[in-house]
Amino acid sequence: MSHPTATQLIEAVQLFLKEAEGELKGRLAFHAKVAGNALAIVTRELAQQPDAAEQQALAPFGGADNLCETLRAGAIDPEEKALLKAVRQGVLARLAVDNPRYATFARLKERDIA
């Protein structure tokens, strides 16, 4: 018999919070909703791994830390198209986890940096 996955455990707590939220009022109901939203973020982060996506996008530039140093030193043009595309991919990976219902997220995902 296997044990529940992290995602299954999170979903069980989310279900409990959603049920409890209807019984709560005021501040407690608000905090239950915030807790449910936080768990949704954790679930998306486990599934989508935005840190890995950002690391992969910025790898050609030596990763995020090296890129910052390279930019500070003036060794790379901050408007280089490949760099802008890589940074954009990292940001979109984070937005997909943090707030996929962000009003302009879909448009940003579809827009291509020329």
In this prediction the pTM is 0.75
pLDDT: which is higher, 113 or 44 = 44
Q: What separation in angstroms does the CA of 28 have from each of 16, 24, 32, 59, 78?
A: 14, 6, 6, 44, 46
5's enclosing H/E stretch is: none
The C-alpha atoms of residue 111 and residue 72 are separated, in whole angstroms, by: 28
Average pLDDT score, the chain? 90
Q: 47-90 pLDDT, tens per residue?
A: 999 999 999 999 999 998 899 999 999 999 999 999 999 999 99
Q: Rounded to 5 degrees, what are φ and ψ at 73?
A: -80, -10
Q: Which residue bears the tokens 């299954």? A: 8
Q: 3-18 pLDDT, tens per residue?
A: 999 999 999 999 999 9
Where along the chain do its domains lie? 1-48, 49-114
Q: 36-52 pLDDT, tens per residue?
A: 999 999 999 999 999 99
Q: Kindly indicate the confidence band of residue 112, based on its pLDDT and cuts at 50, 70 and 90.
A: low
